[in-house]
Structure 1
């Protein structure tokens, strides 16, 4: 651990995974999203492995869910984005995929949150925009987080970039992050690695790091 000006600066994955200052962020592991991925079942299994390790290490756990607004309550950007994603030319053709009470909006059952864990809903790509996540993490003294889920190129990269600007150390478990488009997902990982403000690791390594952390 590098020490300077009264600060402790993590230099390794294990140092960044202090259970008192690190949380797990599970991003958009929803029924309607996972079923769009060719390897959805595999990603669920890998995320569950990280989740189990984080729980055993005593980390706080936060789940994110992407929520569609009813068309009547949607604005210009929300409608334009929906048209682009669904490849339709009119608002009348848009079908909100993740309405609050729809089956596709729910988290996959394998990852059911405990009563001690948190679920935040969002209408943005960054998990920090328009949600209480930043407030909740800072109030707990969290300065780093492990992120897993989907999709790497759509939501995880924006969350990592936003988090770095907010002063967090993001830890990306690359093989526990799914991509809707494999090449775009790989480009996102390469971009995060190039920028260097996040720690990129894999499932086996994060398991080992968390297994050495004792719950506070």
Structure 2
């Protein structure tokens, strides 16, 4: 049921938010080198593929994100510190840029390859909204909600969902289509999203059904 207030439509159900004309699917960092590091990534690829198929059939806009590494000379203290943690290095000189733009590890996994009418936003941040054109592009297309899936929940999807709301978009997280590096951290992220209350948490089956009904 969609209510109105001061001339604004206020959707209440998942199906109401999943209007293909007003929602975009954002596939977060489903890259070859990231999927290799995450246990159970094959199942995540499969569920993301299901969400992708439903979105494409409904004519929903689709965006992908890719995490990039900067060349070593452009790695500042924050980028070096993060890379040292991920690569388990104590010496910054030992850090290697794993995700340079043309590296095989940086590419979206073949099963989810973007189509010509879909967009890829590159970033060096955790939130897909920080220092990318995602927010501008969504507003320009009159999008009001984003559905999120990919890897990893506790690293990038939670901050993306939170910042979506800070930018005026409702976020819908497909929990079973979001991989993780640490299951306990994943559950903490989901608990936080549920507690704050500005994100709808659902699963792939419910999302696909809602998109089909809304199309």
Which TM-score bucket, shorter chain as reference? over 0.9
8 Å CA contact 2:171–2:198 kept in 1: the answer is yes
CA-to-aligned-CA distance 1:146-175 (integer Å, 9 cap, x gap): 000000000000101111111110000000
Match of 1:150 in 2: 151
CA-to-aligned-CA distance 1:112-142 (integer Å, 9 cap, x gap): 1111100110000000111110010000000
Q: Secondary structure at 1:212's aligned position in 2?
A: helix
Matched, 1:16 2:17: yes
The whole-number CA distance in structure 2 between the counterparts of 1:115 and 1:102 is: 20
TM-score normalised over the length of structure 1: 0.97
Matched, 1:138 2:134: no
The whole-number CA distance in structure 2 between the counterparts of 1:190 and 1:24 is: 22
Corresponding residue pairs, total: 214
CA drift of 1:86 comes to 1.6
Give the alignment of 1:30-49 within 5 angstroms: 30-49=31-50
8 Å CA contact 2:16–2:214 kept in 1: the answer is no
CA-to-aligned-CA distance 1:34-80 (integer Å, 9 cap, x gap): 01111011100010000000011110000000000011111111111
TM-score normalised over the length of structure 2: 0.98
CA drift of 1:94 comes to 0.7
Alignment gaps of 5+ in structure 2 = none
Runs (4+) of structure 1 exceeding 6 A deviation are none
The whole-number CA distance in structure 2 between the counterparts of 1:208 and 1:163 is: 23
The whole-number CA distance in structure 2 between the counterparts of 1:195 and 1:41 is: 30
The whole-number CA distance in structure 2 between the counterparts of 1:42 and 1:102 is: 24
Give the alignment of 1:63-212 within 5 angstroms: 63-212=64-213
Range with greater deviation from structure 2 (91-100 or 21-30): 91-100
8 Å CA contact 2:41–2:179 kept in 1: the answer is yes
The whole-number CA distance in structure 1 between the counterparts of 2:204 and 2:64 is: 18
